[in-house]
Structure 1
Amino acid sequence: MKPSRVRGEASAEWRSFLRKPAAVFFTFVFPAILVALFAVVVGAGSGFFEEPQGYYFAGYLGFVVLLTPLSRLSSTVARGRDRRRFEKLATTPLTRAEWLTAHVAVNGGLILAASGLIALLLVAVGGASLTLSLVSVVVTAASVLIASAGFCGLGALIGRAVSSQDGAIAVSNGVGFPMLFLADTFVAPDTLGVGAPVVELLPLTYFSRTVRGATFTGGSGAELVTSLALLTVFSAFLFAAGAYALPWHE
């Protein structure tokens, strides 16, 4: 993998992001609105949302780390396939893994920035109590980058499998939103009556547990290592599958 090729593709993807106001809105503004709305609901202390504000930080980050890569990569791959862009890329030295790594770098950086904004808003607006030590920040940042790699891979798989860009976005939402609420994010799985096997097979579950353990519940070192390791395994598999599925020679 050559860094210069990754940087070149990442630079092009970054410029593409800045030219799309909708992408900027859903990456930064919409999560901020979500935090503000949930702060009111959680503050009321009723229904499903009875935990302290800090408990939901993992859910807010899960929203961004899951849906941003899924929607962006699925639509990008579907659009690139329809416009035969990957056939042109196949004639260059750029490899599938380098292309996907560049997009992971851009999406991961954007999600890290959004995560910082969410943390500030949750503390300032919701009055959340978060553990923001060096260890918690490093573990959370690592979780964001690792999860971004996996969900970029999943987005690439969706973009390859569906027949159109609109279909890719629809399938991404169909996959993403159920996972968002079933993966131990906003509501505990036993409250929803979801079976353990379903929850344990969702990569977002391990992201949520890692972030919540690092920033709120004070999970033990062994628990954090275990959940982060499982997240890494899921993400490595999805990244490899997504890179392989790119329509490089169609």
Structure 2
Amino acid sequence: MSRVARVRAEAGAAWRSFVRRRTAVFFTFFFPVILILIFGALVRTDPTGTGLFTEPPGYYVPGYLAVVVLFTPLSRVGSTVARHREGNRFEKLATTPLTRAEWLAAHTAVNVAIIGAASLLLLGIIVAVTDAAVTPSPWLVPLVALGVTLFCGIGAALGRVADSQDGVIAASNTIALPMLFLAETFVTDDLLPEFVLPLVDLLPLTYFSRGVRAVTYAGTSPVVDVAVLAALAVVAFAVGAAAIPRTD
């Protein structure tokens, strides 16, 4: 069996596992929708120009997309690795030709497909609910794909170090929640304390947010952000693949 065939077979199994888990499907597609309804429909721009959510609706598009690009890969891949460890699945996989990188590539491909579909749904709802002026761009494809790949790699590493699926969820939320609000998503830099600002450039989600905002809102080139995101994705994928155990 060729490498492509092995990855395709594992991806097919991962896809079937996802669609059978109704809770996972619900939260992947509908939790971000609820978030948009809350922030986009119920929270309106402050007419005094002070406080949170004072920017035009289009400014917050990266934040909405970041919810699925960040949370879903971290929790899904991390939980899958932890579940496989608990069930000694990696010991069985060690007897097959499937490598750790191929296993992670298959699960990353499934997540890219799922989150890509969720992102399209969110963009449509964002435009309908928030009246955001969103400029469609082919750059969104590599931005979403690279962002998902990056956080799949981090999720795989979390699944290795966490002692259970519950531990993975706790660890992923601990990482993702602060990043969601500090990485130039919903909170602008001028509202952050000065001591936090140097951390913004160290957060991988920052480059996803900047890239998405560049193409959907500012109308500028995202080349630098895509390049940084690609480099981070390669490193994260390599670390995640190395972290996947052969036996447990």
**TM-score band w.r.t. shorter chain:** over 0.9
What does 1:81-100 correspond to in 2, within 5 Å? 81-100=85-104
Do 2:45 and 2:56's aligned partners in 1 also have CA atoms closer than 8 Å? Answer: no
**SS in structure 1 at match of 2:107:** helix
Do 1:42 and 1:51's aligned partners in 2 also have CA atoms closer than 8 Å? Answer: no
Q: What CA RMSD, in Å, does the superposition of the two structures yield over aligned residues?
A: 1.3
Do 1:157 and 1:246's aligned partners in 2 also have CA atoms closer than 8 Å? Answer: yes
Runs of at least 5 residues in structure 1 that lack an aligned partner in the other structure = none
Counterpart of 2:237 in structure 1 is 239
What does 1:103-142 correspond to in 2, within 5 Å? 103-132=107-136, 136=137, 138-142=138-142
Distance 1:34 1:121 in 2: 11
Q: Are positions 1:226 and 2:227 aligned together?
A: no
Runs of at least 5 residues in structure 2 that lack an aligned partner in the other structure = none
Q: Which runs of 4+ in 1 moved over 6 A?
A: none
**SS in structure 1 at match of 2:44:** helix
Which residue type is aligned with residue 80 of structure 2? T
CA offsets 1:30-49 (integer angstroms, 9 cap, x no match): 11111111112443436311
Distance 1:191 1:4 in 2: 50
What does 1:2-41 correspond to in 2, within 5 Å? 2-41=3-42
Do 1:41 and 1:49's aligned partners in 2 also have CA atoms closer than 8 Å? Answer: no
Distance 2:44 2:144 in 1: 27
Counterpart of 2:183 in structure 1 is 183
Which residue type is aligned with residue 231 of structure 2? V
Which residue type is aligned with residue 237 of structure 2? F
Do 1:54 and 1:130's aligned partners in 2 also have CA atoms closer than 8 Å? Answer: yes
Distance 2:190 2:42 in 1: 21
- Shift in Å, 1:11: 0.6
Do 2:82 and 2:162's aligned partners in 1 also have CA atoms closer than 8 Å? Answer: yes
Counterpart of 2:169 in structure 1 is 169
**SS in structure 2 at match of 1:49:** coil
Q: Are positions 1:248 and 2:241 aligned together?
A: no
Do 2:11 and 2:109's aligned partners in 1 also have CA atoms closer than 8 Å? Answer: yes
Counterpart of 2:204 in structure 1 is 203
**SS in structure 1 at match of 2:139:** helix
- Shift in Å, 1:139: 0.8
Distance 1:157 1:190 in 2: 33
Do 2:41 and 2:129's aligned partners in 1 also have CA atoms closer than 8 Å? Answer: no
TM-score, length-scaled by structure 1: 0.94
- Shift in Å, 1:21: 1.3
Do 2:88 and 2:247's aligned partners in 1 also have CA atoms closer than 8 Å? Answer: no
